[in-house]
Chains A and B, each alone.
Chain A
């Protein structure tokens, strides 16, 4: 009897695994088709036309900064040189305990101003507003600390343009990222309410004065693993979601939103560990409920570079936080799962997210016990066990290689050594690293006080990353 149950669990696990791989492969193939077209279009310079057009909509870049003194100036500098005709930068100092505020004020020669501030979105009280008119249109909001979401809400309140680009202070923008992403808005201004961009890890790359000089793959295993993860995520899934108009998450580091829609849904939710997914899903639900035609798209050519955790300790904290955010989103949007009212989002993408992201660690964890137990009890012979492990390894590799192949069209990593490192990583990550992330996600599912803290990222500052590699 026990053997039979074990066998059934084994079949279910394998079935789940096959379904997950088919789903991911489907997204990767759709993404490949979308990227191929995008590659052709990128080669024939639409950028220049947008830059010289007066119909290009203006954008407010909103940055939430908390204890970011090390990198805030470089980040703002990289933002100030983006190639875009009309934009302003709104930095929100979220009650930093270091000298983030002073560093920005000094670096950009800002002056304290007192101008009307309209709190369309609820947020902590604003203490002071600073503004500068020399070159860059920059506004700094100094407010009491109440978290990233609250800071972004304050920044959105202060934004003067119809589109807001919400990002972080530990990023370096590609100079053409705004024009590429806003091109998607101009394509269909009436329907486009959100655009997500391509977020890439910065660790190991060379940065000078807020400019990316050369992208490179770090030698350290932890950031290298994340580079591969980001490439898989941003190139082998998101273009597919976008093609189906069912992007379930516009990354918090790179999200452009129509301000009026953010205000309609009440802004970002404070205290939510996955506030970017929460916002994206609320926008979907709100607009589908209203029956308004809309689209939220992903633009792979719009690139932003960000600092990713450098140590296992910080990575663990980040992954637990992400999975807790996902857990809350699964609970909050359970009404959308397999609900035809929410079309492709409700019927395909969100259920896929729940099944293959939320439940994946549980099923994988069960697999770890069931497969050895079946082998031990004789239900699975050694040869079959090896075949199964090879299939698992092969499918994992397939996904990574496909993603790397798609990434080649962007040509960020020029040296053969970088590509070799990533290919090696695609193999190595299957022996311990992936399992570790599963354990962290299980830890998140189990809950407990230590999983509820946001935790600090321990930033080194974007300019210092390469030098310390």
Chain B
């Protein structure tokens, strides 16, 4: 092949590809945009149609087969599901069942090879699914696509499918962090029903699957079930893993039961600064003013994070603000600094200035700051 022919071919090839790209760009701009616009228009129409079906019991306007298969109709159903409550949900479910929406989406989720379609199906099942889709959702908790696993868990949570709790919890340690964190959100939605499965998982796995156990503890912290306090104290006494200890202390602080006071108090003497800091923070969450003297003592800790956490915890307790003002005169300069920072953080300085009463309570704080300057 002569160099000229080679050049010629290269130019033709390159410009042909350019022409294809240009056409694709124009097509995307024109056709795709127009399609999206039409989709949006239909979705709005369908929302109107659904509203009429909801509002009038004997409404006879037909929902034909092509409408039921239209993705815009699916989007309208999802929008409607998120906007209604009470009896309207039953009416909507009747429409969904009558037109076989769930079955169709289950088929798509199971057999389509298009990621977009499978994701749409998973979202639809998460939003509109019922008991009939629970088995499939559980099966797809092991789907190859992480986002689908998340949507399946969300769907199970949405219908409060209790048998799925164990299935979701058992995947904590095996999942990638993004998915397990979303699983945790789903379990929080289950509320106190997830407490015992989570505790059982922690008891069994805290030695082998630290990451999963820590996430389970964080989930319990959000559920805030008083019944968890006893078992959590047991785990705290049993474990030697620092991460698990920290997460347990955090959970105890979030649950906020005074039952945990002594255990947390003793951790303020721990050799690990991170544990001391977390215990201080957790004591602030218990709401018991009895912890103030010990926390003020921790404001003299050698570690700045412990001092800061202790001061912030004091600020959360009843009578804590007064204790912090007193701590401004502490012989330990670090403790006084921590108190000043906590007082500033809770807005003492700003609010006092706004109230224009600098001369009263705020004076020691200002004096402390001036001395630092």
Contact = CB atoms under 8 A, between A and B. Distances in A.
Are both chains from one complex?
yes
Interface of A: 37, 40-41, 43-46, 49, 52-55, 111, 113-116, 118, 131-134, 183, 186-190, 383-384, 387-388, 390-391, 394-395, 397-398, 401-402, 404-405, 408, 411, 414, 416, 419, 423
Interface stretch (B51-59, B292-300, B344-352): B344-352
B84 interface: no
B1 interface: no
B242 interface: no
B177 A423 contact: no
A329 to B, nearest CB: 32
Contacts of A395: 14
B302 to A, nearest CB: 15
B223 to A, nearest CB: 11
Contacts of A131: 344, 350
B123 interface: yes
Contacts of A401: 18, 21-22, 25
Given A49-B182, A186-B177, A44 B123 contact: yes
B181 A186 contact: yes
Interface string B16-33: 011001101100111011
Given A116-B340, A397-B18, 13 more contacts: A37-B115, A41-B119, A44-B119, A113-B349, A131-B344, A131-B350, A186-B177, A187-B178, A387-B4, A391-B14, A394-B15, A394-B18, A402-B21
Given A41-B119, A111-B353, A133 B347 contact: yes
A330 B282 CA distance: 49
Contact of A132 (B10, B25, B350): B350
Contacts of B154: 49
Interface string B142-162: 000001001100100000000
Interface of B: 3-4, 7-8, 10-11, 14-15, 17-18, 21-22, 24-25, 28-30, 32-33, 115-116, 119-120, 122-123, 147, 150-151, 154, 176-178, 181-182, 184-185, 188, 211, 218, 222, 304, 337-338, 340-341, 344, 347, 349-351, 353, 369, 372-373
Contact of B176 (A111, A133, A188, A404): A188
A122 to B, nearest CB: 18
A387 B11 CA distance: 7
A423 B23 CA distance: 12
B29 A44 contact: no
Nearest to A113: B344
B119 A419 contact: no
Nearest to A109: B350
A388 B25 contact: no
A398 to B, nearest CB: 6
A186 B180 CA distance: 10
Contact of A114 (B7, B340, B351): B340
17 contacts: A37-B115, A53-B182, A54-B188, A55-B218, A111-B350, A114-B340, A115-B344, A116-B337, A116-B340, A133-B347, A388-B7, A397-B18, A404-B25, A405-B21, A408-B25, A408-B29, A423-B25
A398 B17 contact: yes
Contacts of B33: 411, 414
Contacts of A53: 181-182, 184-185
Among all A-B residue pairs, the 9 with the closest Cβ atoms = A394-B14, A387-B7, A187-B178, A114-B369, A401-B21, A133-B347, A115-B341, A408-B28, A390-B11
A45 B120 CA distance: 11
Contacts of A398: 14, 17-18, 21
The residue in A43, A387, A388 that gathers the most chain B C-beta atoms within 10 A of its C-beta is A387
A114 B218 contact: no
A186 B150 CA distance: 14
A405 B21 CA distance: 7
Nearest to B342: A115
Contacts of B350: 111, 131-134
Nearest to A131: B344
A133 B347 CA distance: 6
B217 to A, nearest CB: 11
Contacts of B25: 401, 404-405, 408, 419, 423
Contacts of A388: 7
B176 A44 contact: no
The residue in B176, B211, B344, B372 that gathers the most chain A C-beta atoms within 10 A of its C-beta is B344
A384 B7 contact: yes
The residue in A43, A45, A401 that gathers the most chain B C-beta atoms within 10 A of its C-beta is A401
Given A55-B185, A131-B344, A187 B29 contact: no
A419 B29 contact: yes
Nearest to B15: A394
